[in-house]
A and B are shown apart, each in its own frame.
Chain A
């Protein structure tokens, strides 16, 4: 059974940092592209970052230069280092897997973890 489990969320001050982790199991982790997607309360889904099979990384303009995604295939895990946090980054963060090289084909999602940026 495919499982994705996020950890590391919580409260951070504006300008501060947090590191999210996603532990994967039930599939060959190294063979899949992995992603972070967030959802602010009462809002829609927003893509945050992607790390490909080869370790290539991608970000939207809203987080580029502040967030860094990475993966550790030996640990079946990937991470999101979030720096220079803003109130607008407050959201539930989901880790997700895509298949067949299509970065919109999110076939499995974690349960989500809350990140709150507030003083």
Chain B
């Protein structure tokens, strides 16, 4: 069981806005930054969002992140077929003294 909770799958059409949620607690998301990682099958994860809502260079602006209390969200505005991947949230956990991850959400673009 992952410390951070994510729905196993999400789907949307290119005309929609898809939200992937990540739920944690006061010892992780509630006090620390949230990060999002994108992973395609057979490849390593890639940093997608850092410090709650910042995009690394090269990440399309259709990806955005937000955080409120002990939850965080990744929004994908107008998902494309090439965005079909697994998305993981992560944060530092003050109680466990280590980084923790969500179980991942598989995005399907209809």
- Is A107 an interface position by the 8 A CB rule? yes
Chain B contacts of A26 at CB under 8 A?
Answer: none
A100 to B89, CA, bound (A): 18
A59 to B102, CA, bound (A): 18
Task: Tell me the total A-B contact number using a CB cutoff of 8 A.
Answer: 62
Of the residues A44, A106, A108, contact of B102 by C-beta under 8 Å? A44
| Contacting pair A104 B97 (CB below 8 A) | no
From A8-16, A45-53, A65-73, A78-86, the one touching the partner chain is: A45-53
From B10-18, B41-49, B62-70, B73-81, the one touching the partner chain is: B41-49
* CB closest chain-B residue, reference A107: B47
| Contacting pair B98 A60 (CB below 8 A) | yes
Chain B contacts of A103 at CB under 8 A?
Answer: 92, 98-99
A105 to B49, CA, bound (A): 9
Contact status of A111 and B44, CB under 8 A, knowing A45-B104, A102-B33, A104-B33: yes
- Is A32 an interface position by the 8 A CB rule? no
| Contacting pair B100 A94 (CB below 8 A) | no
A59 to B98, CA, bound (A): 8
Contact status of A107 and B56, CB under 8 A, knowing A44-B88, A102-B33: yes
Among A46, A60, A104, A106, the most chain B Cβ lie within 10 Å of the Cβ of A104
| Contacting pair B101 A50 (CB below 8 A) | no
Chain B contacts of A55 at CB under 8 A?
Answer: none
Chain A contacts of B91 at CB under 8 A?
Answer: 104
A106 to B91, CA, bound (A): 10
| Contacting pair A109 B90 (CB below 8 A) | no
Ordered by A's residue number, 6 sampled pairs between the chains whose C-beta atoms are within 8 Å are A44-B103, A47-B101, A103-B98, A106-B45, A106-B99, A110-B44
Tell me the A residues contacting B by CB distance below 8 Å. 35, 44-47, 50, 58-60, 94, 102-112
Q: Given A106-B45, A106-B90, 17 other A-B contacts at CB below 8 A?
A: A44-B2, A44-B88, A44-B102, A44-B104, A45-B45, A47-B98, A47-B100, A58-B97, A102-B32, A103-B98, A104-B90, A104-B91, A104-B92, A104-B99, A105-B35, A105-B51, A112-B44
